[in-house]
Structure 1
Amino acid sequence: MSEAEDFARLMRELKERGGLSYGVLARRLHTSTSTLHRYCRGEALPAQFAVVDRFARACGASAAEAVDLHRAWLLADARRRAGPAAPDPAPDPEPVIAPDPKPEPGRAAADTREPAVAAVAPVVRPSWHRRRAAVVAAAGLAAGAVAVALLAVTAPGRGVPHTASGSGPGAGARGPAASAAAGTAPAAGAAPTGSATPPAPPTAPSGGPAAAPTPSSAPPSAPAPGHAPAAPLRAAVRSHVWAAGCDHAYLAERGPASVPPPPVEADAPAWAAAQRAVHAGNQIVEVTLHGTGSGAVVLEGLEVRVAARRTPPAWNVYEMSQGCGGGITPALFAVNLDAPRPLARPVAGNDFGNRVPAPSFPMRVSAAEPVVLRVAATTTGCDCDWSLDLRWSSPTGSGTLRIDDGGRPLRTSAAAGRPVYGYALELGRWSR
């Protein structure tokens, strides 16, 4: 039985036991009845983890059943991303390897899934916000998700796919086109799954090709004299996370006639790369962490590093939607990049009236118990290059893990006073 079929079987069992119709469940999941039918038949897979979590709650799943369902989704999602299984003839630090239920000794299985979370409150829209937005409303329904600040998934006897930590060059959710000095050149999009790199001295963005990041997924080994131990962690970084899966804004130098329609969230990295766009006003970053050794790793704290502050460029703001949202506010770490010494401040969330506790350190992570950290950075006064340092400790030593975008800093720019454009669906063009 394939991973998708196993996931569909668990969904059918929970639905039958819960006694809810497809129509009722579809409304609670903010999706269509036909889509839910496809999930339960194994013909499609939810793109977001929050849909799985909401389904388990609606069906009254126990904690153990929810864990089994979540793990089945992780395996199926990893298989979908990896594509058809292929043999791996030689070790390589960066290839995507097909799931292996029996990882070889010394290498822990890890998962590079991209969990979905809900987002911060939607921003107020200009006048075009009140125009017809049927397509955007559908995107908001599909993305109405349960916020997850800390996620630990365990289930004995079930394998986890082993994938190398992918990375993409670029500055601040950027790809091949890097930012230039003095804030005169924009950033470009990065691959959806980035990689955290070991701490390095802050550097200003450059226009040349990005250096290959140092993989953070290697098994821990005895450090050489005078060197810090290798981090026994694998990190997958998502830097193009939109509020509620549809609400975000980018700064771009190009005029509205030269900018294509807004993409869906999954295609945002490529869209931003092509437009050489910068996150406008705020940026949400999600980091999924797995241990790479046999033991657990303790996460002790998160520090914010601002490498550069520049005057925000006088570009146009392009809103990705005409408004969306719901009754979910995630628990996360909030960062004010304008502060002299920015801190990662834990903030509680809300799930349709139910309080979601704020995340707190220390946290425990292992190969079988991943942790998802969500960070929301905002700025109203600077074009900022920034990164995060995650402090960790384990039986083999302690150190810090640099969270950035493939070896380059994340980039977020203020956008106050800039022309704001939204995409007018009825006109098929950007409009103010």
Structure 2
Amino acid sequence: MERSHGTAEAENFARLMRELKERAGLSYGVLARRLHTSTSTLHRYCNGEALPVEFAVVDRFARACGASAGEAVELHRAWLLADARRRAGAGAEATAGAEPVPVPTVVVAPAPESAGRGPWYRRRAVVLGAAGVTAAALAVTVAAVAAGGWGAAQAGSAPPAASASATPSSSVSGPSAPSPSGLVPVPPSASGAAPESGSAPAPGSPPVSGPASSAPAPVPVKAAVRAHVWAAGCDHAYLVERGPGAVPAPPVEADAPAWAAAQRAVHAGTQIVEVTVHGTGAGTGAVVLEDLEVRVAARRTPPAWNVYQMSQGCGGGLTPAAFSVNLDAPRPLVRPVAGNGTGGPVPAPAFPMKVSAAEPVVLRVEATTTGCDCDWSLDLRWTGPSGSGTLRIDDGGGRPLRTSAATGRPVYGYATEQGRWGR
């Protein structure tokens, strides 16, 4: 939970929540039980005093209140705007001398009504994850999304924004400088941008016309990345080299990137990465996401550090549809796994899938390891009207994501009443 600071965006989000609650005729107590949260926390959400740190809570609230697809879209858009404003405010309040964290830009696109738009699960978040990990319900994604990337630092560095880098094919290229969203297009290969050896024009001849000399086409997709997503908003663990007396109390999920960077922490056993992908409106037609590939750049012996659990258990009872990723496999793959939501079974998502400026897709990747300290990233292949390419999903600035096994390591939980870590 994070304070909303009374922004106009947060007030609008709270108003929408109140309207849905009043129309449904449900008490705060009943709704709180369905959302797996406390009555006081839900009351603060509806009064604009606090904002959920992840959309799963908002999605469960909308469905518990019987929201229509259009109302779910409006609520999703309002939450994204309020969340972006909250993050911008948090960045402005950072201490002097701290490395700045890019603030995400929110792009709002009109969301059409649900009629004729395919099955409901297609408009939810697509969740990529490890089987057996309890997490929140799937999020509705037919709304505007944050175009800027934010995320967590690898151990030993300040908390940069996680990023998605585009590697277009020879038919598509983009600007050489990073965009504000963290999407870094890479120039096309020489096979599509330069003449073959021996075919250069003679001195004094007119310049060659055609695709090689034309202006680069804009990349039609963008992504926002969160690398410190906790299961059900509270369940996660980190490996830290320091002893329990030198480690501060666990943060809330929204403050996890800064906390982990300060402790030089590494994700222990499991890492959840949330990637929101949407079209930019460049060109015509939708963009098709073809496949997601895992790249393991390095495997090391897991460090002999302590495990610090962020929560003693938060009791989430929903399992999302997932693609499980086992980093210990020689060639890790994403594998579809069906889930279970409040309305019953949720079919496993599958590629290919379409995205546009009005209909983004949220990919939730849950990577696990029991045997290595792994550096890894994801390549998301896409095809659009103007060509095809690849989005590289990493931890920002070209740095890989990092997840380490924690089997057999000392495990500590935080005793709030005593104000210290204990085993």
TM-score, with length taken from structure 1: 0.72
Aligned counterparts of 2:277 and 2:312: Cα–Cα separation in 1: 33
Matched, 1:152 2:135: no
> Is this contact kept in 2: 1:248–1:319, CA < 8 A?
yes
1:369 to 359, 362, 366: 359
What SS is found at the alignment partner of 1:359? coil
Give how far 1:77 is off: 2.6
Instruction: Select 1:48's aligned residue among 47, 51, 54.
Output: 54
Alignment counterpart, residue 427 of structure 1, candidates 406, 418, 422: 418
1:190 aligns with 2:159: yes
Q: Determine which of 39, 56, 74 is the counterpart of 1:68.
A: 74
In the other structure, the counterpart of 2:305 is 315
Q: State the AA in 1 paired with 2:322.
A: L
**Which amino acid is the alignment partner of residue 148 of structure 2?**
S
In the TM superposition, what is the alpha-carbon distance from 1:9 to its structure 2 partner? 3.2
Amino acid at match of 1:337: L
Answer yes or no: is the 8 Å Cα contact 1:334–1:377 preserved in 2. Answer: yes
Residue pair 1:120, 1:243 contacting (<8 A) in 2 also:
no
Per-residue deviation, 1:394:
0.2
Q: Aligned-residue CA RMSD in angstroms?
A: 3.7
Distance 1:272 1:311, change over 3 A: same
Unaligned 5+ runs, structure 2: 1-6, 93-100, 111-124, 169-176, 195-211
Contact 1:333 1:344 in 2 (8 A): yes
Which of these two proteins has the greater Rg computed from alpha carbons? 2
Offset of 1:336 from its aligned partner? Answer: 0.7
> Is the alpha carbon distance of 1:279 and 1:40 closer, same or farther for their aligned partners in structure 2, counting shifts above 3 Å?
closer
Distance, in Å, in 1 between the alignment partners of 2:107 and 2:275 is 23
Aligned to 2:390, the other structure's residue is in SS state strand
Number of residue pairs the alignment of both structures matches = 360
Shift of 1:43: 4.0
Mapping 1:9-408, distance limit 5 Å: 9-83=15-89, 96=103, 145-148=136-139, 151-154=140-143, 160=144, 165-166=148-149, 173-174=152-153, 186-188=155-157, 190-191=159-160, 193-199=161-167, 217=183, 225=193, 231-294=219-282, 295-352=285-342, 354-406=344-396, 407-408=398-399
Distance 1:243-1:31 versus aligned 2 partners, 3 A rule: closer
2:236 and 2:158 map into 1 onto residues whose CA distance is: 14
For 1:80, the aligned partner's letter is R
Give 1:413 shift. 1.0
Q: 1:18 & 1:259 partners in 2: Cα distance?
A: 44
Q: Is the 8 A contact 1:122 1:247 kept in 2?
A: no
Structure 1: distance between partners of 2:218 and 2:394: 17
Cα 1:101/1:232, change in 2 over 3 Å: closer
Task: Check the 8 A contact 2:13/2:82 in 1, yes or no.
Answer: yes
- Structure 1 distance, partners of 2:105, 2:378, is 30
Note the alpha carbon deviations across 1:331-372, whole angstroms, 9 max, x for none: 222111111111011222112572121121111111111110
Tell me, yes or no, if the aligned pair for 2:58 and 2:76 is still in contact at 8 Å.
yes
Residues 230, 253 of structure 2: 8 Å contact kept: yes
2: CA distance, partners of 1:246 / 1:167: 19
Cα 1:194/1:225, change in 2 over 3 Å: same
| In structure 1, C-alpha distance between the alignment counterparts of 2:280 and 2:235, rounded to whole Å | 34
Q: Distance in 2 between matches of 1:339 and 1:27?
A: 39
- CA distance in 2 between counterparts of 1:5 and 1:390 reads 36
Structure 1: where are the runs of 5+ without partners? Answer: 87-93, 104-114, 124-142, 155-159, 176-185, 201-211
Q: TM-score, structure 2 length as denominator?
A: 0.74
Secondary structure in 1 matching 2:375 = strand
* Residue equivalent to 1:135: none
Any conservation in 2 of the 1:218–1:230 contact (CA below 8 Å)? no
Q: In 2 relative to 1, CA 323–118 (structure 1 residues): closer, same or farther, beyond 3 Å?
A: farther
- 8 Å CA contact 1:237, 1:287 repeated in 2: yes
- Residue type of the alignment partner of 2:328: D
